[in-house]
Copies of this chain bind each other. A is one copy, B any other.
């Protein structure tokens, strides 16, 4: 399961700053992968606030069901994540496995069961045995250390070719706060509510309801605006924790001026993680940014942008470095929302290719060919009807995507 590192990977992958009272341990539970870590335990030494968004799949995994049920309690003391098995569509046994892991973690930390959050990623439908995980937890709880964020990001990888991390440090009402986040991709990515798996921790003190409100807002322009392959996972989980350092007076109202500051930085961090997921989309060679303006509403713009970003024909054209804007027209046409063919304008980068319902008379194949050889392709469409706009990020569809997914399970 080792793949060549994506050509879209960040130049440098660095560890994140430690957060006080947030201890991390990883281990090799041998769930599926050999000779690598596949188990992550994040321990909060004191009660942390918690917010989460999860897949809208009608067939969610057992861990997703558990997290959703525990969220209203509003307190987190530990997070367990394993890679190699999604524990999804595993029936009563799957719920039993989740429960056993939670009980073992709660007992190791001497906290309540609904203060433990859990996520699993990997194969769907394969029964998952708890014992290999359960036996490791007491020692992990003891040896967990502040820092270790890079190891955490590595332990949750599946077909990812690089670990995904991001951090922000900023002044928030006179107090410096930090947000650290990790995420994993890399296939079955078309988040409808969140993404595969992402965990974000800040040392700010924020009530859980306010944290949830920020998260729901920040996820729209980040994880809910990316797609690798249009396939929404059963396990999408994005959780944010705030450990609440003493010097930071608790943020409990939207009217608090720190709300907008924190939200801005949280949004930027989620956006950075989401883009890392797209850049590590299975087989990806090009990052595709689709900007739609001039639609009747923002929602219509997003539907059009998604239709373009998910079209296999658009994505294979980008893989072939071919500015096949005719396929963009096709994808706009099939989106089903209001458009007028004869008002469309289409650009690739700065190059206007189509205008007034036909090919731009200034169109120059050579210039555009050079642009298409870049790694970051921007497709811009103006619908010409209104003020609605949206941006969606995706990646190209390559032979490697097919190869990876033709024998992922075996």
Contacts and interface: CB of A to CB of B under 8 A. Distances in A.
Interface string A50-62: 0000011111100
13 contacts: A56-B336, A59-B333, A59-B344, A88-B326, A93-B358, A188-B327, A231-B312, A231-B313, A231-B330, A312-B401, A316-B402, A324-B408, A401-B402
Contacts of A334: 56-58, 190, 192, 231-232
Contacts of A409: 317, 322, 324, 326
Interface string A175-193: 0000000000001101010
- Select the residue from A94, A316, A333, A336 with max chain B CB neighbours within 10 A: A333
Chain A interface size, under 10 / 10 to 19 / 20 to 34 / 35 or more: 35 or more
A70 interface: no
A111 interface: no
- Select the residue from A192, A310, A327 with max chain B CB neighbours within 10 A: A327
Contacts of A88: 326, 329
Contacts of A229: 312-313
Given A126-B326, A329-B89, A316 B356 contact: no
A5 interface: no
A246 interface: no
Given A192-B334, A232-B334, A354-B125, A359 B90 contact: yes
Interface string A309-351: 0111100110110101111011111111111111010000000
A63 to B, nearest CB: 14
A89 B358 contact: yes
A249 interface: no
Nearest to A92: B358
Closest 10 pairs between A and B when the two form their complex, measured CB to CB: A124-B326, A91-B358, A320-B406, A59-B333, A57-B333, A316-B405, A232-B334, A125-B326, A59-B341, A91-B357
- Select the residue from A58, A187, A332 with max chain B CB neighbours within 10 A: A58
Given A311-B231, A358-B127, A326 B58 contact: no
Contact of A312 (B57, B312, B332): B312
Contacts of A340: 58
A146 to B, nearest CB: 37
Given A341-B59, A354-B89, A232 B402 contact: no
Given A92-B358, A332-B59, A333-B234, A325 B125 contact: yes
A403 interface: yes
Contacts of A322: 406-410
A230 interface: yes
A398 interface: yes
